[in-house]
Amino acid sequence: MTVESTAAPAKVNLMGLSQAKLEAFFDSLGEKRFRATQVLKWIHQMGVTDFEQMTNISKPLRDKLSQVAEAVAPEVVNQWDSSDGTRKFLIRVGGGNAVETVYIPDGDRGTLCVSSQVGCSLDCSFCATGKQGFNRDLTAAEIIGQVWQAAKSFNQFGVGAQRKITNVVMMGMGEPLLNFDNVVDSMNLMMHDNCYGLSKRRVTLSTSGVVPALDKLGEYTDACLAISLHAPNNALRNELVPINKKYPIEMLLASAKRYIDGLPDVRRKMTIEYTLIDQVNDRPEHAHELAELLKEIPVKINLIPFNPFNLSNYKRVSNNALRRFQQILIDAGYTTTIRTTRGDDIDAACGQLAGQVNDRTKRSQRYKIDKNALDASNADIIPVKLVDEADVSITFNG
């Protein structure tokens, strides 16, 4: 005898749906498309996820939504506040996994660093995230849900509420361009007037160099672009950022320049991120080589002192070497800033984000990460091939 399943169909999570996808959802219910605008405002401007509280929607439609849909952000399971005002969130995303999100205040500016993957499928040698391996991409609901939870923690929702989050950077755990569709949908929600209303100059995507996805990016967004370069030549970058062996510097910078050149604002520049590591990439000759490499490209340069973590033998750059490197670039005509290390007392500084990753790549075993704290009892462990410089692929649904 065959027993048929009586389980109810999964509800549609409206948290991560773009306006177009939300309009299509209401079409499928036989409802007017303007309902999408109403729901977007309730969720992302007012912070309301209970349909019964959405008072400008009729009672029959609220009842229908409760049966077929939900608006759920991932759960914040821990929060740490640094002495410098930085706040780090540990956010549970199921299967024994959690990601980290960091808020960094700086005067009137409040920047939220958002994760796009559980772990990272790349393995940059100076980054703690990659040492934990990789589990999966985050959904759009899990990405924009990080913004929603952070806004909630600062009482940012509601009419007249003071905006604490003024900028968002896709620089947390993961390589954003390897989760293309969900990242693009999430960034567009961040910039949507009916959601968080951030300027396109205040949402930044940072990539290590997934060139095929970068070539597509301009068709879907005009957010700011940051390139994780970290070396002025291919030989050194191959060691620090292994994806460079597949997409070398020349290919990456050419793609990035096409993106910038395609933006309607001709004044826009890309940011070059360069993590300075003591005695590795911090020499004057590296600075001169970098200046020569970038001379035909509209860039500003952000120097990032390496932040040590317990699985790395790299050391923090000296202040003298850091200032010397910066001055060479300034003398060459580049706007060059130094990223102030923030939140290192709570392991929230650049390169330190780790979270909890139920690693599917087995990379964490190579780095001997202690995973005893992970609750993987409900995890579905599926061995997958480690994504490295020879095995990077991406598909587009758009």
Residues serving a catalytic function are 100, 350
* Residue 124 counted as an annotated binding residue: yes
Q: Is 174 annotated as a binding residue?
A: yes
DSSP code string of 22-49:
HHHHHHHTT--THHHHHHHIIIIIS---
d(C-alpha 285, C-alpha 278), whole Å: 14
Half-sphere exposure of 129 (CA within 13 A, CB side): 27
Nearest 5 degrees, angle CA 30-CA 36-CA 39?
A: 120
Tell me the C-alpha distance between 123 and 341, whole Å.
22
Judged by phi (left if over 0) then psi (alpha if -120 to 50, else beta), residue 351 lies in left
Cα distances from 295 to residues 224, 290, 349, in angstroms, run 20, 9, 30
Q: What are phi and psi of 106, to 5 degrees?
A: -155, 90
Report whether 206 belongs to an annotated binding site. yes
* 230 assigned to a ligand binding site: yes
Side-chain half-sphere of 274: how many Cα atoms within 13 Å? 32
* Residue 46 vs residues 7, 20, 34, 151: alpha-carbon distances, Å: 33, 20, 17, 10
The strand pairing partners of 110, in sequence order, are 105
In sequence order, what are the residues at sequence separation of 6 or more whose Cβ sits closer than 8 angstroms to the Cβ of residue 54? 38, 39, 42, 48, 62
228 is in an annotated binding site: yes
229 is in an annotated binding site: yes
Q: State the binding site for [4Fe-4S] cluster.
A: 120, 124, 127
Q: State the binding site.
A: 120, 124, 127, 174-175, 206, 228-230, 307
Q: State the binding site for S-adenosyl-L-methionine.
A: 174-175, 206, 228-230, 307
